[in-house]
């Protein structure tokens, strides 16, 4: 017999010796139910962003500030180097990676801050500067296209 089994049996005996123990345990679980529901809700709607942004920008994987998000308070030369639980690359192959390149679909900008978005790494290619939130980068046009899932580097500065 392993020590583990002995411990389990002892626990069961204790519960049998105190009939109220099981009830107490359930009551305790019920008290925690609202907390569990809240955590589940957060899990389904996560990740959630800070309610108010005071510094830098927050970029989101999806439009309307949804999906994975990440805050930046400085320049990012190549979003390919920023890993995170967003935008899988190489789906269907045996090697899937996650990074923020060609991924951002909405962005929050803190008051008094500005962000310049670049089509290519190293601040190259088309560029556009935002000083306010943009809930859907499809609405920000560039030469016959838009900025959704296109950004590869950003400059973030306090104005």
Count of chain residues binding Ca ion (CB under 5 A)? 5
Quick one: 7 or 48, whose CB is closer to Ca ion?
A: 48
For residue 37, whether the previous peptide bond is cis, meaning omega lies within 30 degrees of 0, is no
Per CB under 5 A, does 152 bind Ca ion? yes
Order of strands across the sheet that contains 66-72: 66-72, 57-62, 106-109
In the bound complex, what is the minimum distance in angstroms from residue 114's beta carbon to Ca ion?
Answer: 20
Quick one: 107 or 110, whose CB is closer to Ca ion?
A: 107
In the bound complex, what is the minimum distance in angstroms from residue 143's beta carbon to Ca ion?
Answer: 14
Beta bridge partners of 74: none
Contact partners, residue 48, CB within 8 Å, separation at least 6: 42
Select from 56, 105, 123, 130 the one that contacts Ca ion (CB under 5 A).
105
Per CB under 5 A, does 80 bind Ca ion? no
Report which DSSP code applies to 102: T
Beta bridge partners of 109: 57
Quick one: 15 or 71, whose CB is closer to Ca ion?
A: 71
Kindly list the residues in this chain that would bind Ca ion in the complex (CB under 5 A).
102, 105, 149-150, 152
């Amino acid at each position: 017999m392993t020590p583990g089994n002995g411990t389990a049996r002892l626990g069961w005996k204790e519960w049998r010796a105190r009939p109220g123990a099981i009830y107490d345990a359930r009551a305790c679980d019920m008290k925690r139910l609202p907390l569990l529901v809240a955590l589940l809700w957060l899990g389904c709607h996560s990740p959630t962003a800070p309610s108010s942004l005071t510094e830098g920008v927050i970029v989101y994987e999806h439009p309307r500030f949804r999906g994975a998000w990440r805050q930046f308070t400085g320049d990012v030369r190549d979003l390919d180097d920023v890993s995170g639980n967003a935008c899988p690359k190489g789906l269907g192959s045996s090697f899937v990676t996650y990074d923020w390149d060609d991924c951002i679909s909405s962005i929050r900008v803190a008051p008094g801050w500005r962000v310049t978005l670049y089509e290519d790494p190293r601040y190259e290619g088309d560029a556009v500067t935002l000083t306010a939130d943009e809930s859907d980068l499809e609405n920000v046009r560039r030469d016959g296209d838009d900025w959704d899932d296109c950004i590869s580097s950003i400059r973030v500065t306090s104005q």
